[in-house]
Structure 1
């Protein structure tokens, strides 16, 4: 394994789960010999798909219908020999355009990109670390100011060419953003902070076929210093208040995402712990059980924010509990730039990789979430009632409901364990539901949830199958005939189906793909991350890690009926392929490159021409099929 691959696979390798819960490794080893479970117990346990019950149907996506015996992926793939180097490669049946690189003005006429940026310029520019995103279509009614109906319906054909793009900016190294390894002033810290967060931009397809940003009253940057508010069971908790009474501010390390049936964006705070540290200027600091479970340390990830910004200094008594204000799912209205982002505490506080929304039985909202750290858990939230009725009654569906954590059994079944203070085991540890949700990981430990191998993106297919990427588990130690991978450094994709149209407390599961099985073939991939199931039965898989067989990170398309894999796109050396957003007709796909060349201009200068000097920039790709067809076909 090369040093570069090892560096990728060490990402998120820290373990903070000290519970003795039975690890997924053991469950998987016992289960892999039962590969027929999806044909048996899964089909029995699951209910049939109900048209219109998923968020995908709410968007009005349409296209090819799966036909028995006909492949769903018919494009010419990028080959192993083509999928590397300092510039991207794409299937010859497709083409791409570069859009909104890091540092571009948020709106036409804003401050132009220059490197390194100033704090004020970066506040008005596209952030770095492009990751999860959603395209929200705009139709003529909305252009005329009628925002009353935000459900994404089929008649919104205008939205195939015009919409709001909400995009996460996960992280940017100091060396890339500042041109130095450590900040030297509060102004440096502000520059770094303004490069993180979320951007909301309005984009439109021009007559020449290219997409461009357009002026918009709703375009905005949401960063670490943007006012936010809390809602749900923990909103008024003393654990979210600081002694000096400073107002809640900001969102950070925004990884994957979700979107609601009522047309709002969900951005997810992942490795928030790494931005905090301890100076000991005002007091000593010793990590508590809660700090240790969430991975807080004296130096964090080396950003140095705590040295100049007291909010991020764990040893400053005036800002005690500031760290508890991060690790939530944040709701943003992409159509109203005046609305304050809302942190939804009912969804729990973990290192959220994403928040995938579907609609289940009785029209209840269901949110699936992975906690992206080695040996952490998979969660779901089910709203208390019909989301339409709840909103009509002034109750937000993401504020009232039940949060569950998954326990996988080796016989191919599983249970969703409710995380509620009504459970005596949890009531013995937590004072109330607010404290339980603030320290969700500890509550899940107590209930015996199954430790997983870095659960990342989750997606829901039209037949109600749910897929989740598990990036890797380099610490697996046991192998047998059915599980010959020890360790499993390359990850796998798991799938399950819940009872009662996603709202039940039981499920059946199986392993869908094991990455190591693909090495040495034209289907080779490692470290699955981004994930999306389209309405026809295709699974789009993005990778984040050291790819084998000489490949850069990539976007793959899988026929879920046959498990045939084809490579649609590969990025540049040292990058990660992230983010999946689609127009309603599924003929335009948006994806991202994150940290191209790991910020090193000697590796790549993309998207600038290769010169060995220009700093590479994260950016979005607009992907279309040359014949105008459905993406992935």
Structure 2
């Protein structure tokens, strides 16, 4: 990737995180209808805003997809229960643990951009920051203190993992909580010195394996608003690593496509890989998306499915195939092993004896994550992005309904909701003439990028909606099914979440520098810029009447943000004056505060704005709509992940991933957060180099 990246986008990240995806052909070579094809048969803006809009859509999607949904029943009441359940509706009067909802709990003056070479964690005036836990900190009984010069696989299996991404802090009482996060990938170049022997090289591989997965860690503090500390021997502390057994659920479980020599049942998978964003369910479990799993496998790379998922016959960057045959899918014994990754996984952080699961009903793709919303009739809906250039946005609707959390039996039932249901993929339709979407990012004549859309069914009521594909085939080869359905090619859908205040859905499209290249799709109204380096945020309202019904099969959409330097003409900030916003590029993860403001973390700002990545607040309603304000910046060469906003408590949390990623063990680029000088002996538990960490920001 050297010479192929732009600005300060690291070739190291490209190599280790996504297996140099941008240096290979785009996996999606389908000839889905482009915006220009659709526009010829679709809508004028006037039709889109009236009853005629639905009729015009029928030309594209067919009447069966536009019938709408029946009148919704009132949402079931959720009583208070002793089981913490992150994501449950908070009473209007406030939360008994975190306090009342008020914007005054997180007042701040936006910080300015922090230059990309600054190795600092920057917060607004009046706030402090402090790591809660760092890579290598011991969390299980018998774990040794971290020693960067004497790492072992056995120690890492009992220590906090690397490159923490999705994060949640789930309060239990005002002074106790659970920290849950995943560990997406590893940066071996800055974790280890160059191996002196083959045996040492193999041990480094095993350490890397054990640095992937999940961590669950108990937290404690002295009182509300005070900083958290972690409990190294908490009873609920747990590590999930590459050898942890996962159960497979749903229609594809046990299919021939998931069977291997080591697992002839097709129902038990070892480990989880490439976990990116996620979500905490209303019943208190945690979801995570397996994203760039292809980079861990060597495969023949000859089948349509292998090509579509980016699997190739090249040695992998970590060469785990030299240690474990399951990572070499060229053999008949393990040809299906890659099919066992790319799923939404669910863990129960409150039961350290539970078996984590992979849900095939939600489809297999490069999942960024999944976030659950409860529909008015009690069914649950999960939104999911496929983080690849020109790939798609998905929605899952459960077959069964959520039960009130009044008993453990009801919670157990709720933990089955993601095993059966309907799966959809999105088609977006712009409402402006094609000539006005010219690839520059210039707004069309109506002053906004917007239009309608439809959810195209892949699986309905247990039946495949894709001719020639069975339900298990649709779920294992979901990208191929979505190609056939005619989904809209997007600019890397990353995190997707619905607002707890309005039900509107927000999609972070991080970038796509291939859009508009020769033989690549050009601009569409929902992806309006060629060579899109800065990304954008899509705001989606389910249903054509604006009622935000998550069960609807149609939706309205608009672009809330077209990111980049506000001084550039191709940017847009929800109509807010561009001279009064913070520069923002490459939106990745999103979150909400109790007032319904959107918070956006970024991954890639150094490549376009020459500034460190950060976390930004964006109001969504009223005169402040679109006002981007930077709250924090992470250290040099790091990515901001997993934002958690506890504004009632005056706290914000982020996961800081791959600081100093371009360095080496001998010449580190970052020394955050321990700041042990190069060439000195690190004190016990510290490191003369960078450590991915979970950081809390609080008023003080």
TM-score after normalising by structure 2: 0.77
Counterpart among 608, 615, 619 of residue 559 in structure 1: 619
Partner of 1:545: 604
Q: For 1:452-601, what aligned pairs fall within 5 Å after superposition? A: 452-461=490-499, 462-477=501-516, 485-499=529-543, 501-516=549-564, 518-519=566-567, 523-547=582-606, 548-561=608-621, 562-583=625-646, 585-598=648-661, 600=663
> Could you list the per-position Cα deviations for residues 181-222 of structure 1 after superposition, in whole angstroms to 9, with x for gaps in the alignment?
899454332211101111111111136933221232221110
Distance 1:343 1:25, change over 3 A: farther
Rounded Cα–Cα distance in structure 1 between residues aligned with 2:237 and 2:203: 24
Question: Residues 427 and 487 of structure 2 are in contact (CA less than 8 Å); yes or no, is this contact kept in structure 1?
Answer: yes
Q: For 1:226-375, what aligned pairs fall within 5 Å after superposition? A: 226-245=244-263, 247-278=268-299, 285-299=300-314, 301-375=316-390
Q: Which of 1 and 2 has higher RCO (CA within 8 Å, sep 6+)?
A: 1
Q: CA deviation at 1:459?
A: 1.5
Report the secondary structure of 2:417's partner residue.
coil
Report the secondary structure of 2:453's partner residue.
strand
Distance 1:409 1:3, change over 3 A: closer
Bigger mean CA offset, 346-355 vs 202-211: 202-211
Partner of 2:161: 127
Partner of 2:30: 19
Q: CA deviation at 1:315?
A: 1.6
Rounded Cα–Cα distance in structure 1 between residues aligned with 2:526 and 2:270: 50
Rounded Cα–Cα distance in structure 2 between residues aligned with 1:106 and 1:379: 36
Q: For 1:406-485, what aligned pairs fall within 5 Å after superposition? A: 406-411=426-431, 412-420=451-459, 428-430=467-469, 432-461=470-499, 462-477=501-516, 485=529
Distance 1:491 1:386, change over 3 A: same
Distance 1:190 1:409, change over 3 A: same
Rounded Cα–Cα distance in structure 2 between residues aligned with 1:72 and 1:309: 51
Q: CA deviation at 1:420?
A: 1.9
Question: Residues 371 and 456 of structure 1 are in contact (CA less than 8 Å); yes or no, is this contact kept in structure 2?
Answer: yes
Partner of 1:401: 421
Question: Residues 134 and 582 of structure 1 are in contact (CA less than 8 Å); yes or no, is this contact kept in structure 2?
Answer: no
> Which structure 1 residue ranges, 5 or more long, are not aligned?
139-157, 279-284, 627-633
Q: CA deviation at 1:52?
A: 7.9
Partner of 1:387: 402
Rounded Cα–Cα distance in structure 2 between residues aligned with 1:226 and 1:514: 41
Distance 1:36 1:588, change over 3 A: farther
Bigger mean CA offset, 507-516 vs 83-92: 83-92
Rounded Cα–Cα distance in structure 2 between residues aligned with 1:374 and 1:290: 17
Partner of 1:141: none
Rounded Cα–Cα distance in structure 2 between residues aligned with 1:182 and 1:23: 53
- The RMSD of aligned alpha carbons is 3.7
Alignment: residue pair count: 594
Question: Residues 139 and 160 of structure 2 are in contact (CA less than 8 Å); yes or no, is this contact kept in structure 1?
Answer: yes
Distance 1:582 1:377, change over 3 A: same
Counterpart among 183, 189, 195 of residue 175 in structure 1: 189
Q: CA deviation at 1:106?
A: 1.4
Matched, 1:4 2:5: no
Matched, 1:219 2:253: no
Partner of 2:122: 89
> Could you list the per-position Cα deviations for residues 406-434 of structure 1 after superposition, in whole angstroms to 9, with x for gaps in the alignment?
0111131101111127899955432x211
Rounded Cα–Cα distance in structure 2 between residues aligned with 1:269 and 1:369: 11
Question: Residues 377 and 449 of structure 1 are in contact (CA less than 8 Å); yes or no, is this contact kept in structure 2?
Answer: yes
Matched, 1:604 2:670: yes
> Could you list the per-position Cα deviations for residues 17-45 of structure 1 after superposition, in whole angstroms to 9, with x for gaps in the alignment?
11011357998999999799899999xx9
Rounded Cα–Cα distance in structure 2 between residues aligned with 1:508 and 1:301: 42
Report the secondary structure of 2:487's partner residue.
coil
TM-score after normalising by structure 1: 0.85
> Could you list the per-position Cα deviations for residues 239-292 of structure 1 after superposition, in whole angstroms to 9, with x for gaps in the alignment?
1111343652111111111121111111211001100115xxxxxx35211111
Partner of 1:203: 219
Bigger mean CA offset, 495-504 vs 193-202: 495-504
Rounded Cα–Cα distance in structure 2 between residues aligned with 1:496 and 1:300: 41
Report the secondary structure of 2:588's partner residue.
strand
> Could you list the per-position Cα deviations for residues 35-88 of structure 1 after superposition, in whole angstroms to 9, with x for gaps in the alignment?
99899999xx9999988899745355654468xxxx998511111357860111
Rounded Cα–Cα distance in structure 1 between residues aligned with 2:426 and 2:162: 33
Question: Residues 218 and 337 of structure 1 are in contact (CA less than 8 Å); yes or no, is this contact kept in structure 2?
Answer: yes
Bigger mean CA offset, 209-218 vs 80-89: 80-89
> Which structure 2 residue ranges, 5 or more long, are not aligned?
55-67, 79-85, 432-450, 517-521, 569-578, 680-687
Rounded Cα–Cα distance in structure 2 between residues aligned with 1:19 and 1:514: 26
Report the secondary structure of 2:459's partner residue.
coil
Q: CA deviation at 1:596?
A: 0.1
Counterpart among 607, 619, 628 of residue 693 in structure 2: 619
Q: CA deviation at 1:361?
A: 2.4
Bigger mean CA offset, 381-390 vs 222-231: 381-390
Question: Residues 349 and 438 of structure 1 are in contact (CA less than 8 Å); yes or no, is this contact kept in structure 2?
Answer: yes
Rounded Cα–Cα distance in structure 2 between residues aligned with 1:579 and 1:6: 20
Rounded Cα–Cα distance in structure 2 between residues aligned with 1:263 and 1:328: 19
Bigger mean CA offset, 504-513 vs 237-246: 237-246
Rounded Cα–Cα distance in structure 2 between residues aligned with 1:202 and 1:112: 18
Q: CA deviation at 1:329?
A: 0.8
